Amino acid sequence: MSIPAFGLGTFRLQGQTVIDSVRNALDLGYRAIDTAQIYQNEADVGQAIAESGVARDELFVTTKIWVDRLGADKLVPSLKESLRKLRTERVDLTLIHWPSPGGAVPLDETLGALAEARQQGLTGQFGVSNFTIALLGEAIDIAGRDAIATNQIEVSPYLQNRAVTAYAREQGVHITSYMTLAYGKVIQDPVIQQIAQRLNATPAQVALAWALQQGYAVIPSSTKRANLESNLKAQQLRLSEADMAEIAKLDRNERLASPEGIAPAWD
């Protein structure tokens, strides 16, 4: 199953807030939900899905393995615990959330455990997140490029991550963009706002369309139903080459996700 181009992110949302967000999203037609062990909301996401009435086989659910569970003895048990919380027998995609800090757990060990999880039917696909060119190349060498379903990385008009995205494209590895709106910063940008006004669109739709037109999947989050509904319309918005060129100029290598002690040496 290919990764849907548009999904719902749940980072920083917990309790009733994430339950309502997922419920509203599913009601509006979202069918891809992205969560992670470290978000501590898998049980809430599972509850929202279970109560939505949407058939499980219509959904694409992604979770991510945290860095203290990347070892061969911990990964599969931790994924089974995630499945219990999500109230499902399998997820569609499991990602290495961050590379093992300092390479404490060899990548081949983690990828081997993910392959075992897939063989057991616990996950449909597996991939990586926050991987640099060197790490992505290592993952491809170990597992094969066809086995790496995606590299989920921070990409926004302010952090276009060109080196990594170009390498992934060369290798045929799909990119999922997170923080595409840069915590809302880019929707305040005058260039994005001008394009939005000209196209009778919202600034968020413009930023999301910019990522979609490059072939990336996007997973924006929102706690407001109106914004969830509006964001979906980015899929129908087409930016001109001139629009894309204007947004390309906004890159300023402004990275928002780089946790100390966990983040790799970025490209």
Helix axes 241-248, 203-212, angle to 10 degrees: 100
Structure tokens at 37: 């062990």
Report whether 45 contacts 33 (CB < 8 A).
yes
Structure tokens at 9: 């992110």
- Measured distance CA(218)–CA(239) in Å, rounded: 16
97 is in an annotated binding site: yes
Report whether 46 contacts 37 (CB < 8 A).
no
Write down how long the chain is.
267
- The yes-or-no answer on residue 39 being catalytic is yes
State the catalytic residue, choosing from 30, 39, 158, 178.
39
10 Å CB burial of residue 103 (0-12, 13-18, 19+) is exposed
Find the helix or strand (DSSP H, E) in which 43 lies: helix 42-52
Binding positions for substrate are 97
Residues with catalytic annotation?
39
Query: Which residues are annotated as part of the binding site?
Result: 97
